[in-house]
Structure 1
Amino acid sequence: MRVMFAMRVVFMVFTVLTLGLMGFSGNWRSRWQWVLVVVFGALAIEAGPVSHFVSVNNLHLVDGMILFLFIVAGTLYSALKAANVKAGKTLNIINQLVDQQALADFNREYPGAVMQPVTVVIPAYYEVENIGRVLDSIPRVVDDTPVTVLVVVDGSPDGTDRVVREHGDFVSYISVNRGQGAALRVGYRLAIDHGAQYIVTLDADGQYDPSEMYGLVKPVLRDEADYVQGSRRMGRYVTDDVIRVMGVYWFNWLIGLLLRQRITDSSNGFRAIKAGVLKNLALSEDQYHAAELLILAVRKRYRVIERPASMYPRNSGETKKGHNLLYAYHYARVIFKSWLRAI
């Protein structure tokens, strides 16, 4: 009788857990979950068959606990997976709303704006001390082609947007901080919608030398490449962070192995891309955007080459990339995720 009662309690718990999972995920049409509800519910009412099975096979309490733990673990995994899917959908909706607001704000501030064929898109987050020097050093004509600058301020109320306006360049202010990748997606959309044919990306912290832009833009202007990736290993790399240097070599080797193409600097933020390439890439990473962009472009068989793009210490402020180990984990995650998406 005790075994029978325990069985009924266990299967009643399973029934409630399954119904709770369905309610949490909002998925009341899942056939397999309804099958589980019916089976667990029936066994909670009449646990005789299970009790007989336990007796015949001389199973003990430990066996029952192991089975119970396996089922609970499976249920929790399903719940977490459902929660992740639900959170992803919610995040996508939020991103769409934020993007729409940013686009509307820009068009309201710059009605009828027209950008030059070469447009430099700069994501910025708390870079009020650096952005002015960066803007001053950007060439405004490259290979007889005029250049426009668009700075996308990613939710930093420090006055970065004010400095950009004082320099007479375009600025898009996003009220919510989401990450460099999200800011660049807004920048790509604005630049392309307003006439840009070639997009150059550049960081706002002053680590790159804008005078090297000609070497990146020239191949795309002359249709020798679709995507030119800057490489600190082909230029100058000034740093005392040995771990970061080792990481650069390791991840470049890994990406080169996956793509079967030699890559010397996958994470460099100084690059030039044809607008048509960006239109055809389904970019989604809010952070660690560089790996996703490069991998998808190579897998789409665009002509990707590298050119020198030196990298120096920041002018001021602190890096936004976080601890080396955390950065390495997320960068590796994006590499494999992007590679699997592109298969």
Structure 2
Amino acid sequence: MTKLIIQIPCYNEERTLGITLSALPRQIPGIDTVEWLIINDGSRDRTVEVAKEFGVDHIVHFPTNQGLAKGFMAGLEACLRAGADIIVNTDADNQYCADDIPKLIQPILHGQADMVIGARPIWDTRHFSLTKKLLQNFGSWMVRLASNTNVPDAPSGFRAFSRQAAMQLNVFNSYTYTLETIIQAGQKGMAIASVPIRTNPNLRRSRLVRSIPSYVFRSAMTILRIFMLYKPLRFFTWLGAVPFGLGTLLGIRWLLLFFLVDPTRSRAPSLILAAILILIGFQLWMFGLIADLMAANRRLLEENRLRLRRIEFERNQAASKH
């Protein structure tokens, strides 16, 4: 028996949630059971009532708004507890075409991927400005570099996860899950696939992208933070190489001037600056070593959490059979 749960993070979505739910499938080839789950992220309107009217199977409640990332993770946890073999995440604003869900899950059903991301036709999307299209492509390129993956549309929220992939994900960022989960999955060696999907006409403005500069800054900080988290030694090695290299060049310059030009001049400022830069570079390398040791400890904790999730899933499965 293969169970698919479609999860939808919601925050004041009474106007669009019904449209989204009415398009979701209840039967998909290769899937025995299809269930729906919404994450009510502190909504103050009739979001929950609309969900119940359309027969949503599971509702996760937050009394106050916790943000998209926390809502996404709460949904994954609830789907795992409900016995999901495959989890599909989509948005409540009906941005993504629900008819593409069978296509989205095919790589997982065939054992070809652990995570599948729907690639939107960015350049053909009319309500995206040229600036947004360029930034979406640039951001996806940055994520590909940081994750060693080949995902053409990194910010896409239309994605599918196998049970094993969902158990391994841990979102630390409070802003969004889209970029972090790709980088994390790539660093964990998960198989990631991308399939072209269609989008629907825009029903409302994005709540995540309130301004282009803010979105770019927060996305860049997310990529940088996750890269530091998973590759701290490499990050601090490159960071420390800049002051260390400059300090070394200044030191070589001082030696050349001292021995070849005028040994009577001390040129103390250059020598002091070279020493400071070399010391800064060396300290950054030490930070990298310490962070790398901490990362090893984090990996052990993640493995323990993965074991606990598997044990909990097996217990829930056993309880549901009795």
Shorter-chain TM-score category? Answer: 0.5 to 0.7
Kept in 2, the 8 Å contact 1:143–1:218? The answer is no
Q: Structure 1 length normalisation: TM-score? A: 0.63
Q: Which has the larger radius of gyration?
A: 1
Give yes or no for the alignment of 1:273 onto 2:161. yes
Change (3 A) 1:331 1:312: farther
One-letter amino acid of the structure 1 residue matched with residue 17 of structure 2: I
Secondary structure of the residue aligned to 1:142 is: coil
Secondary structure of the residue aligned to 1:141 is: coil
Change (3 A) 1:243 1:182: same
Q: Could you tell me which residue of structure 2 aligns to residue 184 of structure 1?
A: 72
One-letter amino acid of the structure 1 residue matched with residue 108 of structure 2: V
Change (3 A) 1:321 1:125: farther
Secondary structure of the residue aligned to 2:6 is: strand
Q: Could you tell me which residue of structure 1 aligns to residue 48 of structure 2?
A: 161
Distance 2:2 2:9 in 1: 18
Q: Could you tell me which residue of structure 2 aligns to residue 175 of structure 1?
A: 63
| Post-superposition CA distance 1:97-128 (Å, at most 9, x none) | xxxxxxxxxxxxxxxxxx97110110011111
Q: Which of 309, 328, 333 is equivalent to 2:216?
A: 328
Pairwise CA distance, 1:153: 1.2
Distance 2:172 2:64 in 1: 17
Secondary structure of the residue aligned to 1:277 is: helix
Q: Could you tell me which residue of structure 2 aligns to residue 292 of structure 1?
A: 180
Kept in 2, the 8 Å contact 1:216–1:307? The answer is yes
Secondary structure of the residue aligned to 2:226 is: helix
Pairwise CA distance, 1:318: 5.5
How many residue pairs match? The answer is 229
Q: Could you tell me which residue of structure 2 aligns to residue 152 of structure 1?
A: 39
Q: Could you tell me which residue of structure 2 aligns to residue 206 of structure 1?
A: 94
Distance 1:318 1:332 in 2: 19
Change (3 A) 1:127 1:317: farther
Distance 2:166 2:138 in 1: 27
Distance 1:247 1:222 in 2: 33
Distance 1:317 1:130 in 2: 12
Give yes or no for the alignment of 1:338 onto 2:229. no
Kept in 2, the 8 Å contact 1:266–1:294? The answer is yes
Q: Could you tell me which residue of structure 1 aligns to residue 131 of structure 2?
A: 243
Q: Could you tell me which residue of structure 1 aligns to residue 199 of structure 2?
A: 311
Q: Which of 113, 132, 135 is equivalent to 2:18?
A: 132
Pairwise CA distance, 1:331: 0.8
One-letter amino acid of the structure 2 residue matched with residue 277 of structure 1: A
Change (3 A) 1:228 1:262: same
Q: Which runs of 5+ in 1 are unaligned?
A: 1-114
Distance 1:234 1:244 in 2: 9
| Post-superposition CA distance 1:117-164 (Å, at most 9, x none) | 110110011111000010010111222312111010111111101100
Secondary structure of the residue aligned to 2:172 is: coil
Q: Which runs of 5+ in 2 are unaligned?
A: 232-322
Give yes or no for the alignment of 1:122 onto 2:45. no
Q: Could you tell me which residue of structure 1 aligns to residue 240 of structure 2?
A: none
Secondary structure of the residue aligned to 1:238 is: coil
Matches within 5 A, 1:48-87: none
Pairwise CA distance, 1:234: 8.0
Distance 1:310 1:279 in 2: 28
Change (3 A) 1:149 1:235: farther
Secondary structure of the residue aligned to 2:161 is: strand
| Post-superposition CA distance 1:45-90 (Å, at most 9, x none) | xxxxxxxxxxxxxxxxxxxxxxxxxxxxxxxxxxxxxxxxxxxxxx
Kept in 2, the 8 Å contact 1:234–1:308? The answer is no
Kept in 1, the 8 Å contact 2:149–2:192? The answer is no
Secondary structure of the residue aligned to 1:307 is: strand
The CA RMSD over aligned residues, in Å, is 1.9
Give yes or no for the alignment of 1:282 onto 2:170. yes
Pairwise CA distance, 1:214: 0.9
Secondary structure of the residue aligned to 1:272 is: strand
Change (3 A) 1:318 1:251: closer
